[in-house]
Structure 1
Amino acid sequence: MDEEYDVIVLGTGLKECILSGLLSVDGLKVLHMDRNDYYGGESTSLNLVQLWKKFRGSDKPPPQLGSSRDYNVDMIPKFMMANGTLVRVLIHTDVTKYLSFKAVDGSYVFNKGKIHKVPATDMEALKSPLMGIFEKRRARKFFIFVQDYDQSDPRTHDGMDLTRVTTRQLIAKYGLDDNTVDFIGHALALHRDDHYLDEPALDTVKRMKLYAESLARFQGGSPYIYPLYGLGELPQAFARLSAVYGGTYMLNKPECKVEFDEEGKVCGVTSEGETARCKKVVCDPSYLPNKVRKVGKVARAICIMSHPIPNTNDSHSVQVILPQKQLGRRSDMYLFCCSYAHCVAPKGKFIAFVSTEAETDQPETELKPGIDLLGPIDEIFFDVYDRYEPVNEPSLDNCFISTSYDPTTHFESTVIDVLNMYNIITGKVVDLSVDLSAASAAEE
């Protein structure tokens, strides 16, 4: 403890671990502390006994659910886009050597009361029951435009400057109806609300391309991958990486009080009467509660089942997005399911999550449209947590605070936060132009 560090990272949540890995690889001297005696912070994975303790106050789960240690239940479950930013960060830092990934079986969208596979290419658009025959032709034309679009080649722009044209205008050009726009915007481009319609179309086109490229990568039924044994593996992999580069890890450090000098700048962290000195602190919102504000809350149900989600082609791992309009809500709802195929439950068991931005104080009622799609449930737990974002000015106090995790079941928004923080901390941009084939081991 009695040393000087470039950066002290507090909390071993996913964002903090990725940052500590990136900063260690950069050659900074990093000390990483957590008040808990386990990795992962809010984004940890629990076995059955831990799950019962957290939600039921007892540590005696029913024996018919199988062995406690066969369960790895992610508290903040998210899939990764196979060609997405997080995978690029994993390859850039070489963390892939500590992890095994497996493709996710399915990607679905809720439309007019039913679950449908998300069409991602012009060929899939023609087969999809989501659209009538004329709409299919229009959608196919739009998908072909997106697939062929190349920002550096004006011949593919169809006379439009997508940095100026809004998504609404682009869609109007192809005459797509509201239902089609709904699944394109929310299930392909993964927007969380409808603000994107009045923003430049380039972002949406890039997101659709990412989806299609990720889908093509493993020729699976979805563009997503997920680590064996759950996301709890990720913080630990980054911790190993940080250690390889000389980072120091200390779990189970109570209090972790951030110290400031007379100018209000960070100068160290005190725990158990010892102070480690540092120039910068990186942490999750729980370590500096007076420098964050509450911006919302997430409601979610965690379910243990003995079957896959109905109408998803018996997928052992699947994401279903329920766009807000389909439910008459202000925010989307997300279903996430994985099973023994990803080593997160014993054979024959499935873990499903339903999550959304809470709009009321009744999570049971609010999550019902998603829960109703799951079929029979063995056990269900409800959870609501607050979301925070930093309100401090990092240039004045040298505190870099991550934003709480949102209800999405994919990583795109999480990793954008991490890369922005990295940029503010170091003044540099992470080089993500990596050779994606380096992670081809993921096809297992």
Structure 2
Amino acid sequence: MEETTSYPSIEPSNFDLIVVGTGLPESIIASAASAAGKTVLHLDPNPFYGTHYASLPLNDLVSFLESQSGPQSQPPETSSDHASISLVTRPLYSALEINTYSSEPIDNSRKFNLDLAGPRFFFCSDSIIDLILKTGINQYMEFKSVDASYVSDAEGKLENVPDSRSAIFKHRSLSLSEKNQLMKFFKLVQGHFGNESEEDKIPEQDLESPFVEFLTKMGLSQKLKSIILYAIALANYDQDNLEVCKDIINTKSGINHLALYHSSIGRFPNANGAMIYPIYGQGELPQAFCRRAAVKGCIYVLRMPVVAVLMDKDDGTYKGVKLVSGQELFSPQLIVAPSFTFPSTLGPSPAQVANSCDAKEKVARAICIAKKSLKPEVANCLVFIPPRSLYPEQITSIRVLQLSGNVAVCPSGMFVTYLSAMCGNVEEGKKLINAAINALFSLPTPGNSEKSAADSLSEHIEEKPRLLWNALYIQELTTGSFDSISRTMMPDEHLDYNNLLDATEKLFREIYPNAEFFSVTTLSDENLDDGGSELDP
């Protein structure tokens, strides 16, 4: 361990809020609190911003996943004026598998910016985009369009998602009847949100019914229902099997998703479709909020572990934190990243927290690296694999996001593909992800990672990209909690940030009920070009 004297002394020693971890929820709250005039200290034991929302070079990502896959604890500390209870880091990742399918190392591994929480993107009309514009942090970020969306079958065959009038007309596998059905349905949804009379509104009883039932009532084919449910409304679970579906989407929620999707198309002049992605990775988002917080006076210190929480010796209430340097700092409120457990006097014991996490649902994630696109001539795209597409027991949708070097997440000529799926346990998660990888990629024969002569000769006609490297891991899904010590949530299973942003704003308002959650920015630079999508509607 480094000598205590190598850590900087932090002045002052009293703050309105101390935040540990620079993940997205922590960074948003630190920025909002700083904008509201609060004194904020933002600490992170890591040498990088983003924590569980970071984008990291290849080797750093593996090291972080390994470090967060087992429990870590500090011995109890003592304090002359306060009781001191050590923090415990709980494991939030498990079943980490790293596979290399090439005898040669990946070139320029430092040029990768890999998302820990992928796949994830922004709808152009997302609430998070509205917040980016409101706060002015768009001056710190650049974006590219996600070029296309596809639905995949068990063989990895990709078909375009008909998400607009022109896409419907161009779609080759839809019958004329299906095209008319889809056009009629989109027109119905548009009328519901338009200024038409009440007669054009969808009846209330239909809005509360399961979305899949409403789609059936509208006469849509099974193929169209699957596209709408899983590639546009982004349903997680098999909506046709109510016995296994843990999240039934009602019609109101479903058409709200459609409205968000359609309102995102054309919002920004240089965005080709409904979705955009930040250049250099999702980790740019928490960094942008941190930069805004710093402008407003927030103090940042990386590589600074918090080893203990300071408690009042008489009533056991929270008073402050003790740093690895030995320095004690004080605040009425503390926010910690989800990898930290609360001391037993403030909530569940570390063992209880670990046990409760094991009982909750998880999300299986994977990162794949290849030198060929899933779809020729397409750089950045989404792929959806609906339930039961790969095998009969598949009850959740699998989401896939492919990114290229043009968003600076990998060297030019390479492609990074993220996969995720909800799962109840490790075995289910690994089965889902491996089945999707086998459908989308070409893997070498077991026991022989080298190219054979036949492989080399046939590579020019091979449809699937050859997998060079992948990582698979299971992530716990944890929610936040509120008290004088509050804990934020892990990245959720969704592809967007809407739920996470809602939970973060709620936490901020509970801590500061009389403060505004970001006033309109005074920053004037609102014309940042992403090289593909200007955030200037």
Which interval holds the TM-score relative to the shorter structure?
0.7 to 0.9
Residue equivalent to 2:440 = 373
**1:179 lines up with 2:246 in the alignment:** no
Structure 1 pair 116–400 and aligned structure 2 pair: CA distance change class (3 A): farther
> Offset of 1:232 from its aligned partner?
2.2
Q: How far off is 1:326 after superposition?
A: 2.8
- TM-score if structure 2 supplies the norm length? 0.73
Alignment check: 8 A CA contact 1:122 1:144 kept: no
Shift of 1:306: 0.4
For residue 45 of structure 1, what is the aligned residue in structure 2? 55
Counterpart CA distance in 2 for 1:154 and 1:162 is 18
**1:271 aligned onto 2:323:** yes
Partner of 2:472: 382
TM-aligned CA deviation for residue 351 of structure 1: 0.9
Question: For 2:295, which of 227, 232, 244 is the aligned residue?
Answer: 244
Superposition deviation, residue 126 in structure 1: 4.0
Q: How does 1:255-404 map to 2 (within 5 A)?
A: 255-261=306-312, 265-272=317-324, 273-288=326-341, 293-294=356-357, 295-310=360-375, 313-327=376-390, 328=392, 329-362=394-427, 364-371=430-437, 372-374=439-441, 375=464, 376-390=466-480, 392=481, 394=482, 397-404=483-490
The verdict on how the C-alpha distance between 1:440 and 1:38 changes in structure 2, with shifts beyond 3 A counting, is: closer
Q: For residue 254 of structure 1, what is the amino acid of its counterpart?
A: P
Q: Tell me the distance in 2 between the aligned counterparts of 1:346 and 1:156.
A: 54
Bigger Rg, structure 1 or 2: 2
Distance 1:147 1:103, change over 3 A: same
Matched, 1:81 2:123: yes
Unaligned runs of 5+ in 2: 1-9, 67-96, 240-244, 442-463
Provide TM-score, normalisation by structure 1.
Answer: 0.86
Task: Confirm or deny: 8 A CA contact 1:10 1:287 kept in the other structure.
Answer: no
Question: For 1:425 and 1:351, how far apart are their aligned partners in 2?
Answer: 39
Q: How many Å separate the matches in 2 of 1:148 and 1:433?
A: 32
Asked whether the 8 Å contact 2:365–2:418 carries over to 1, the reply is: yes
Using the alignment, how far apart are the partners of 2:200 and 2:264 within structure 1?
22
Name the CA shift for 1:126/1:265 in 2 (closer, same or farther; >3 Å).
farther
Q: Per-residue displacement from partner, 1:86-134 (whole Å, max 9, x unpaired)?
A: 1111111111111111111122223575322222224433443464332
Provide the alpha-carbon RMSD of the alignment.
3.2
Q: Displacement, 1:269?
A: 1.9
Q: Secondary structure at the match of 1:237?
A: helix
Verify the 8 A CA contact 2:192 2:200 in the aligned structure 1: yes
Q: 1:302 to 1:217 in 2, by over 3 A?
A: same
Would you say 1:99 and 2:141 are equivalent positions?
yes
CA contact (8 A) 2:19 2:30 kept: yes
Further displaced range: 321-330 or 425-434: 425-434
Take 2:341 and 2:123, find their aligned partners in 1: how far apart are those partners? 31
Equivalent-residue separation in structure 2 for 1:130 and 1:425 (angstroms): 53
The answer to whether 1:201 aligns with 2:251 is: yes
- Cα distance in 2 for partners of 1:430, 1:152 equals 31
Q: Deviations over 1:206-238 (max 9, x none)?
A: 211111121222464531111111122222221
Question: Aligned partners of 2:212 and 2:468: how far apart in 1?
Answer: 43
Cα distance between partner residues in 1 of 2:205 and 2:528: 33
For structure 1, which segment, 148-157 or 338-347, has the greater mean C-alpha deviation from structure 2 after superposition?
148-157
Report the equivalent of 2:25: 15
- Mapped partners of 2:45, 2:30: distance in 1: 16
Q: Which amino acid aligns with 1:161?
A: E
1:423 aligns with 2:423: no
Instruction: Give the structure 1 partner of residue 283 of structure 2.
Output: 232
1:320 alignment partner AA: V
- Is 1:214 the equivalent of 2:258? no
Distance 1:366 1:199 in 2: 22
| 8 Å contact from structure 1 (residues 228, 344) kept in 2 | yes
Q: CA deviation at 1:258?
A: 3.1
| Distance in 2 of aligned mates of 1:344 and 1:198 | 35
Aligned to 1:253, what secondary structure does the other structure show?
Answer: coil
Give the deviation of 1:267 after TM superposition. Answer: 2.4
Offset, 1:164: 4.8
Higher helix fraction: Structure 1 or Structure 2? Answer: 1
Q: CA 1:319–1:198 in 2, change beyond 3 Å: closer, same or farther? A: closer
Query: How big is each residue's C-alpha offset from its partner over 1:27-79, in whole Å with a ceiling of 9 and x where there is no partner?
Result: 2221111121221111222213424655799xxx9866322332111111211
**1:116-155, Cα deviation, whole Å (9 max, x unpaired):** 2222224433443464332322221111111232277544
Q: Identity over aligned residues, as a percent? A: 25
Aligned residues: 435
Contact 1:301-1:381 at 8 Å conserved across structures: yes
Structure 1's unaligned 5+ residue stretches are none
The amino acid that maps onto 2:235 is H
Letter paired with 2:13: E
For 2:145 and 2:315, the matched residues in 1 are separated by 50
C-alpha distance in 1 between matches for 2:248 and 2:286: 37
From 144, 150, 158, give the equivalent of 2:201: 158
2:171 partner amino acid? S
